Amino acid sequence: MTNTLAIYPGSFDPITNGHLDLIRRGSRIFSRLVVAVLTNAEKQPLFTVEERVAMLEEVTRGMSNVSVDTFSGLLVDYAKRRNAGAILRGIRAFSDYEYELQMALTNRKLEPSLETVFLMPAESYGYLSSRLVKEIFSHGGTVKDMVPPAVERRLREKMEAGRARPVAARRR
Ligand SMILES: Nc1ncnc2c1ncn2[C@@H]1O[C@H](COP(=O)(O)OP(=O)(O)O)[C@@H](O)[C@H]1O
Ligand SMILES: [Mg+2]
């Protein structure tokens, strides 16, 4: 195991079994792994940052060298503040490659000493994304093998809260 703190940044809206697979692999390579939720993303998230952090903390509780944090602004600045030596990112299909390459090379330009390390998930998670989970769940499909039980519960609560809201409020 390297004596390196690594940061695993992302939206985690919500955390899936694919993310969790990567966290497990990362926690075996690095001495410490910080899962960092980006708070200034442009996307309109389903879960608040607080909810996403709570879910991440719940599912990583048993992993002693994994912690959860949030950050805004440039990833390289946050990495410097945390004294991180590496960024962890995941690559699923070909489609991830171009975006991830662009990000990694941009971050390297900004901070040459910070390496981005890519890991592949287990084959069965190679198609899995937070977006897909939300889509399937919103149409009543089962996401049982795609997210940890704690996340499935939160999804159900979130959808029930949405349905319970008055129609006028929902349209806004
Ligand atoms: N099923 C998965 N298997 C492996 N890596 C994944 C999976 N889903 C997402 N990732 C990776 O985790 C990281 C964070 O993903 P995500 O939460 O979507 O945040 P972002 O908004 O930065 O893409 C990205 O590197 C993404 O490629
Ligand atoms: Mg993504």
Domain CATH for 13 = 3.40.50.620
pLDDT digits (tens, 9 = 90+) for 88-140: 999 998 889 999 999 999 999 999 999 999 999 999 999 999 999 999 999 99
Instruction: Provide the percentage of residues in the chain whose pLDDT is more than 70.
Output: 94
Q: How far is the CA of 130 from the centre of ligand 1 (A)?
A: 8
Q: How far apart are CA 108 and CA 23, in angstroms?
A: 22
Q: Is the CB of 20 under 6 A from ligand 1?
A: no
- Verify whether residue 92 is a known catalytic residue: yes
**Mean per-residue pLDDT, 67-87:** 98
Strands (E) located in the chain: 2-10, 30-38, 66-71, 86-90, 115-119
**pLDDT at residue 171 greater than cutoff 60:** no
Domain count across the chain = 1
Q: How far is residue 116's CA from residue 6's CA, in Å, rounded to a whole number?
A: 9
| pTM given for the model | 0.93
CA distance 112 to 38: 21
- The reply to whether ligand 1 has any atom less than 6 angstroms from the CB of 11 is yes
* 33-52 core/surface letters (b: 16 or more CB in 10 A; e: else): bbbbbbeeeeeebbbebebb
Phi, psi of 73 (to 5 degrees): 85, -155
Ligand 2 centre and the CA of 12: distance in Å? Answer: 8
The average pLDDT across 57-77 equals 97
Q: What is the domain extent for residue 64?
A: 2-171
Q: Answer yes or no: is pLDDT of 169 > 70.
A: no
Residue 167 has pLDDT above 60, yes or no: no
